[in-house]
Amino acid sequence: MYFLVVFFVSLYPGRLLDTVGRFLAPLKIIALAILGIAAFALPAGEVGVATPEYVAAPFSQGFINGYLTMDTLGALVFGIVIVNAIRSRGVESPKLITRYAIIAGLIAGVGLALVYVSLFRLGSGSHEVAAGAANGAAVLHAYVQHTFGSLGSGFLAVLISLACLVTAVGLTCACAEYFSRVLPLSYKALVVILALFSLFVSNLGLTKLIAFSIPVLTAIYPPCIVLVALSFCKDFWQEQGRIVGPVMLVSFIFGCIDALKGAGLAGWMPSPLANLPLSEQGLAWLVPSVMTLVVAVVVDRMLGKRSEAIA
C-alpha cells in the first residue's frame, strides 16, 4: 500500500509541488517539531557515556556514519526536483531559478540542522531505555515508546511514513526523469520499476540495509563530497574540468579501498593499501585527494585558459 501511494504520486511529477509542498511537507514538519521539542523537554535520561569507537575517534566515526543519512546524495538528486518545481510555477529566468533554489537550500539546511540537533539530544539520553539497540531506528522507537506510552508506536509510524514518503516520491521522480533521458524506457515504466525495486529492498530490514549500504556509500560518497566542495571554488582556477575530474576520480578510487575494508575484505588487500594514512578512520581518500588537488591546481595555472593555450 505504501509503495502504491509512492507510485501514483510519482506518476504525475507536475503535481509534485502541490502534493508534497501543500500536504505532506507541513505534516512532516509538525511531526518532526513535536519530536524535537520532546527530545529537549522530555529527555529519557541523563547524557550517557560514549561507546569506545566514539571515544577513540569521535569526528571520523560521526563523519563516516553520516554517510548513512545520504543527505549529500539526496541533495545532488533533489536539485532536479527543486528546479522543476520552480519552473512549474512559471519561473524561467536562470537568475530567479538560482535565487529560489538557494532559498530552498537554506531552508532545508536550517531544518536539517534542527532535526539533527534534536536527534543528538534524543540519542544521548536514551542509553538506558534503548540498551542493546541495533540501529538508530531502534533507539528512536525506544524513546518514543518511553515518552508517549501506548501512543508512541502509532506516532512514530506516522512520522516515519510521512518523512519517508516525501523522500521516496522525490527520489522516484528525480531518478525516473533522469534515466528516461539515457535509457530506452519511458518515465512511467521507470516509475513502475523503481517502485517495485524499492518495495523489495524495503523488506530486507534496516540492519541488513545498513550493512549493505556502508561499503557502497563509503565508495561513492567521497567523490560527491569533492564535487560539492569544489563547486564553491570554481572561480579560483582556469578550467573546471582539469580540477574536478582528477580529484573526483582519485577520491573514488581510494573510497573503494575504504569500502573494501568496510566489507571485511582488508585481508585480501596488499599491506600498503590496507594501511594508508587515515585508513583506520575510514578517510583514506582524503590525503590523496588533497594531493591531487594541489597538483591539478598547479597544472591548471601552467596551462592557463583553454582559449589562451590555443592562441
How many domains are contained in the chain?
A: 2
Q: Which of 203, 221, 249 is the last residue of a domain?
A: 203
Q: Are 171 and 223 part of one and the same domain?
A: no
Cell numbers 569500502 label which residue? 259
CB-based burial label for 176 (10 Å; 0-12, 13-18, 19+): buried
Contact (Cβ atoms closer than 8 angstroms) between residue 184 and residue 27: no
pLDDT digit string (tens) for 198-224? Answer: 998 888 877 788 778 888 888 899 999
Other beta carbons within 10 angstroms of residue 227's beta carbon come to 15
**Whole-structure pTM value:** 0.73
Enclosing domain of residue 213: 209-310
Q: Quote the cell numbers at residue 175.
A: 531518478
Q: Which of 182, 203, 224 is the last residue of a domain?
A: 203
pLDDT digit string (tens) for 132-188? Answer: 777 788 888 888 888 888 787 787 787 778 778 877 887 888 888 889 999 999 999
Buried b (16+ CB within 10 A) or exposed e, 187-224: eeebbeebbeebeeeeeeeeeeebeeebbebbbbbbbb
The reported pLDDT for the residue numbered 311 is 44
Q: Are 184 and 246 part of one and the same domain?
A: no
